[in-house]
Amino acid sequence: MSEFTNDARKMLELVGGRENIVSFTHCATRMRFVLADDKKADVKGIEALSCVKGSFTQGGQFQVIIGNKVSQFFDEFSAVSNMDGVDKQEVKKAAKGNMNLLQRAVANLAEIFAPIIPAIIVGGLILGFRNIIGDIKLLEDGTKAITEMYPFWSGVYNFLWLAGEAIFTFLPVGVTWSVCKKMNVDQMLGIVLGITLVSPQLMSASDYVAAVEAGDPVKYWDFGSFHINMVGYQSQVIPAILVGLVFAVIYRFLKKHVPEVISMIVVPFCSLIPAIILAHTIIGPFGRMLGDGLAGIIMAGFNSSFAWLFSGIYGLLYPLLVITGLHHSMLPIDLQTVATMGGIYTFPVVALSNIAQASAVMAFVFVNRKDAKAREVGIPSFISGYLGVTEPAMFGVNLKYLYPFVGAMLTSGVMGIVSRLFGVIANSVGVGGLPAFLSMRGDKILVYILCIVIDIALAFLITVVLSKTKLKDMGVHYESGK
């Protein structure tokens, strides 16, 4: 008998039995259930189990936080239930039956970007490291950068751009591939489609604008009676999504209607070529206009005379976006803003919000420091939160007991104001925790580290103060595990 056998049996009963489970799987820290009837799950009973650190419902899934040993619990649950778990994609597909139209759209968007987020984070860290060694004057009384003093680090600086360019300049290739993967169409053709958006023979959007303003000739494909400008979509996200979706629709239509005997020849050719033509005539330009418009709206708010207020409201409301899952819809806009404006104000606020969530849990542990259960649940949660994984902190502790969530939310709003007043801007999206300072522009790294210190102290202080108010009684009543 394993350490989870009894809890697994109890959980099977508490989620409503086998007949109430449509499917289940697990991720890094959570069991994920799709239930036929969510109301049959005894949430209080489940959260009282010794191995459970919290639970929440999101994206049509009932998710139970187990921790790093979730894979062991999953195996034991599969054994006692005599049911086989499925992979995450099958669970997500089943969960969509419990979603409304908006939730499905956001879930699909999240699934497109999930496979490429690690690359985006690595790219942000690379740019941040290059900033530290190449753009910040750290030596010779603040007059020279490390790369100006040491040839080795100059070589590192130049070499790392190879990875940075591969990730950000050619990002549309990853996007079109992921769209095709999501839509279950030929992924290699998706890669080819992406390459046609970023080919070296294409001008970048900035080079095109500069050429037009200077009156210089613009490269184009000449078709006699008309021509198409040879302008690419390097670093562009929204055009790549739209082009990928159109290609997938054409491909699936042809795959369904073209006879099998000629399908291998007709379907790839007659789906790829029209998609490329549409990409460079209608969809691409529209996608760029749409993306630039959305990016412009966000940047207008952060650059307005009330930028500090806009940033504060964004910070205050961001935790609510996470609860609803709508934060996933911000990623393509953020990436488009980076491509269009060269940086973003949103990510510094997002990272400070995540750090505030982790710090609120640390305050919760401090308030209940004499209790073993609080330490067991809280310490892993705030450590993972500081490293950018906030679900255990937010759903396992803060929302459950409410006052830590309010403390983190208020801190996030205040730090949104502070961040904007300091003019903090990020090169790109990165790790949404303590390592976030590496994603900031070189001249803002030190001031952002100061913001992180203020963020931690403020979230801790506000949460401790709120623990002594009536707000503490509005959440789940804390039961000592002493």
Q: What is the per-residue pLDDT across 104-147, written as a single tens digit (0 to 9) for each?
A: 776 777 778 878 888 887 887 887 788 788 877 778 877 888 99
Q: What is the pLDDT of residue 92?
A: 57
Mean of all residue pLDDT scores within the chain: 85
Q: Are strands 54-58 and 21-26 parallel, antiparallel or unpaired?
A: unpaired
Per-residue confidence band for 87, with pLDDT thresholds at 50, 70 and 90: low
Q: Using CA atoms, how far apart are residues 238 and 244, in angstroms rounded to an integer?
A: 10
What's the pLDDT score for residue 248? Answer: 95
Marked catalytic residue, from 27, 51, 180, 451: 27
The residue written with tokens 């049996």 in the block is: 9
Residue 91 has pLDDT above 50, yes or no: yes
- Percentage of residues in the chain having pLDDT higher than 70: 92
Closest CA to 295 of 370, 369, 238: 238
The mean per-residue pLDDT over the stretch 218-230 comes to 87
- Cβ burial of 428 (10 Å; 0-12, 13-18, 19+) is buried
Q: Mean pLDDT throughout 52-74?
A: 81
Mean pLDDT (whole number) for 85-91:
57
Write down the pTM of the prediction.
0.73
Q: Is the pLDDT of residue 357 over 50?
A: yes
Residue type at 335? Answer: L
Residue 102: the pLDDT is: 65
Among 66-75, 260-269, 305-314, name the one with the lowest average pLDDT: 66-75
Whether 432 has a pLDDT exceeding 70, the answer reads yes
- Nearest CA-CA partner of 62 in 18, 108, 15, 104: 15
**What residues contact residue 269 under an 8 Å CB cut-off, 6+ apart?**
none
pLDDT for 316: 94
* Strand ranges in 190-277 using DSSP code E only, listed in sequence order: 220-222, 227-229
Q: What is the pLDDT averaged over residues 430-457?
A: 89
Mean pLDDT check: name the lowest of 12-16, 87-91, 182-186, 461-465. Answer: 87-91
Please compute the mean of the pLDDT values over residues 235-263 and round it to a whole number: 92
- pLDDT band of residue 165 (cuts 50, 70, 90) is confident
270 noted as active-site residue:
no
* Range in 86-90, 131-135, 146-150, 190-194 the model is least confident about: 86-90
pLDDT range class, residue 89, cuts 50, 70, 90: low
Q: How far apart are CA 389 and CA 409, in angstroms?
A: 17
pLDDT for 253: 95
For residue 155, what pLDDT is reported? 94
Average pLDDT over residues 180-203: 93
Question: What DSSP assignment string belongs to 64-106?
Answer: EE--TTHHHHHHHHHHHHT-----HHHHHHHHGGG--HHHHHH
DSSP states along 2-32: -TTHHHHHHHHHHTT-GGGEEEEEE-SSEEE
Burial of 57 (0-12, 13-18, 19+ CB in 10 A): middle
Q: What is the token pair recorded at 107?
A: 């879930």
- Sign of dihedral through CA atoms 45, 51, 56, 60? negative
Averaged over 303-326, what is the pLDDT?
87
**Coil, strand or helix at 221:** strand
pLDDT of residue 482: 44
Q: Where are the alpha helices (DSSP H) in 368-477?
A: 372-386, 391-393, 399-401, 403-421, 445-466
